[in-house]
Amino acid sequence: MKALDRLLRRWQLLALARVAPKTLADTGAKRLLRQVRRVARRVPAYGAILRERQIAIERIRTPADVIRHCPILGKEDLFGRFPLTELCVDGNLGPLASVLTSSGHGNRFAFGLSTARQARAATRAIDLGLEHAFQTDSNPTLLINALPMGVRFASSSVTIAETSVREDMAVALLREIAPHYAQSLLVTDPLFCKRLLEHAADVGLDWSNLKVNLILGEETFGEHFRSYVARGFGQDPQGWTRGFVGSSMGIGEIGLNLFFETRETVRLRQLAQARPEAMAEVIGRWPGRTPPLLFVHDPRRVFVEVQTPDPDGYGGLVLSTLDPSLMLPLLRYASGDRARLLDTQAMRRALYSGGFADLALPTLPMIALAGRETDVLPDGRTLLDFKDALYARPQVADQLSGAFRIEDEALGHRIHLQTRPGWRGVEQDLVDQVAPAFPPPRAGASDQVQIWDHDRFPYGRGLDYERKFTYYAPRETSPPRRPA
């Protein structure tokens, strides 16, 4: 049976690679139209929304009609307003195999519901993705799930170990179990990944005998961070000959691994980091200094739009689920992220004319993800730039936990930095090392950098890694500063 599954995955990958991007897009658009008609007829909450807005489903005859007439909805329009059953097909939860809870980052929870059939389909999709990215059918693989407890997934092609956010468990697995496999795959989030690296160094884990791939989720990161953790795991961040560091984006109420990086998209982003002027024509002029994450996606699974794009094509990311068997389908759902749709053919022409014809492009359609729409300070600077600045110099990053909080000041901002556990150093020396890497404030403003010992950091002291970290909040929601 496993041999048959492997043959099927190989056939699916070959078939997908041969499908033209336009054909994939057309398939997704047709599925969108069918999904809208089904949801309007069978999901009570969506029918009520259409009636309130005087939208007759009979007028929705083409995919373009969907975009023109169907409303864009946010979490508060659905999960904050209707009982959960009314968001489901036929107003019934039905026989569920699993429930995935969103992070609750906006003080409101949403839920992703899966039947046994969908759980089996998700496992097949994960196995297909693992084979595509890491050739897991021919390389026995240990997958360590070090995401916060509650985020689970299944696979029939790899060995899965679940540690949640326990760095000692993960390191014990890497030391005792990983050497018996051809490769390991660690799935976690950026802040916990840094903590794991620190613990591994403290206990003397030897990375040279291990091939470790890394998939990061939960939040965005920059190329300085990617290089930092890649070298920490004993990898080559330019050639990726000893493992790979990539990222995946999911949304609890829609699904896991909706968007993901490939080696091709990572190399494109590395070029954007090194040559921003060359890549601006390819992916637009992105907000801030740190390039956006470049993701691929399967347009047969989710329909992707960008709402009210700016002159460079960046706008609000809007998603529609296309699986007709979903118990809780979502249509034109605003994710709260800022993104840009990318045209592969236009990118190929631009790269060729710019002298980068040797860069390969993925076969699946791409988007550029610049981060959350709210991850921008009042003066226009992005939190992604501040995050990545902490890793611009490895010797500085070694002294910090990676957590920070930006607080409004009358003329600028105060940047609170948490040191790593056990740090012993001079605060002003650390300020002098890290401050020049931050994006400068606008003319007439100034920033103040404040260093906190790890255990005295007042914004999530003793990080539990179970909740998404809040890097910026208006001054009225921030705790008082310590006396000077």
| pLDDT band at residue 116 under the 50/70/90 scheme | confident
pLDDT at 108 over 50: yes
Quick one: which of 151, 183, 189 has its CA closest to 167?
189
Q: How many CB atoms are closer than 10 A to CB 244?
A: 24
- Over the stretch 1-44, which tens digit does the pLDDT of each residue have? 455 555 445 545 445 555 566 666 678 889 999 999 999 999 99
**DSSP result, 249-307:** EEETTTEEEEEE--HHHHHHHHHHHH-HHHHHHHH---SSSSPPEEEE--TTTEEEEEE
Q: What is 383-477's CATH number?
A: 3.30.300
For residue 380, give the DSSP letter. S
**Do 415 and 450 touch, CB atoms closer than 8 A?**
yes
The pairing of beta strand 212-216 with beta strand 183-188: parallel
As given in the structure block, the two tokens for residue 460 are 């999530």
Return d(Cα 131, Cα 183) in angstroms, integer: 13
pLDDT at 120 over 60: yes
The stretch 343-349 carries a mean pLDDT of 90
Which pLDDT belongs to residue 39? 95
Which pLDDT belongs to residue 37? 94
pLDDT at 478 over 50: no
| pLDDT band at residue 480 under the 50/70/90 scheme | very low
**Do 24 and 40 touch, CB atoms closer than 8 A?**
no
Which pLDDT belongs to residue 88? 94
- Length of the chain in terms of residues written: 484
Query: Long-range contacts made by residues 195-201, C-beta under 8 angstroms, separation at least 24?
Result: 195/167, 195/401, 195/463, 195/465, 196/146, 196/167, 196/170, 196/171, 197/229, 197/232, 197/233, 198/167, 198/420, 198/421, 199/167, 199/168, 199/171, 200/167, 200/171, 200/174
The stretch 67-87 carries a mean pLDDT of 92
Percentage of the residues of the chain whose pLDDT score is greater than 70: 90
The stretch 299-322 carries a mean pLDDT of 94
Q: Domain limits of the chain? A: 1-370, 383-477
Average pLDDT, the chain: 87
Residues in CB range of 378: below 8 A, 6 or more apart? 408
- Over the stretch 152-200, which tens digit does the pLDDT of each residue have? 888 889 999 999 889 999 999 999 999 999 999 999 999 899 999 999 9
CA distances 265 to 125, 182, 214, 256, 365, Å, are 20, 25, 15, 19, 11
Widest distance between CA atoms in the chain: 69
pTM for the predicted model, two decimal places: 0.89
Helix or strand (DSSP H, E) at 89: none
Query: 377 burial class (0-12, 13-18, 19+ CB within 10 angstroms)?
Result: middle
Q: How many CB atoms are closer than 10 A to CB 317?
A: 26
Least confident of 80-89, 103-112, 123-132, 194-203: 103-112
pLDDT at 445 over 90: no
Which pLDDT belongs to residue 353? 86
- Over the stretch 271-306, which tens digit does the pLDDT of each residue have? 999 999 888 888 989 988 999 999 999 898 899 999
Which pLDDT belongs to residue 239? 76
Residue 374 three-state SS: coil
Question: Hey, what amino acid is at 4?
Answer: L
Instruction: Please say whether the structural domain 1-370 has been given the CATH code 3.40.630.30.
Output: no
Residue 115 three-state SS: coil
Residue 7 three-state SS: helix
Q: How many CB atoms are closer than 10 A to CB 59?
A: 9
**What is the Cβ-side half-sphere exposure of residue 305, based on CA atoms within 13 angstroms?**
21
Return d(Cα 263, Cα 281) in angstroms, integer: 21
The stretch 361-384 carries a mean pLDDT of 92
The partner residues of 341 in beta bridges, in order of sequence, read 367
The stretch 198-227 carries a mean pLDDT of 92
Which pLDDT belongs to residue 482? 43
Which pLDDT belongs to residue 67? 93
Which pLDDT belongs to residue 93? 85
Instruction: Work out the angle at residue 349's Cα, subtended by the Cα atoms of residues 220 and 370, and round it to the nearest 5 degrees.
Output: 15
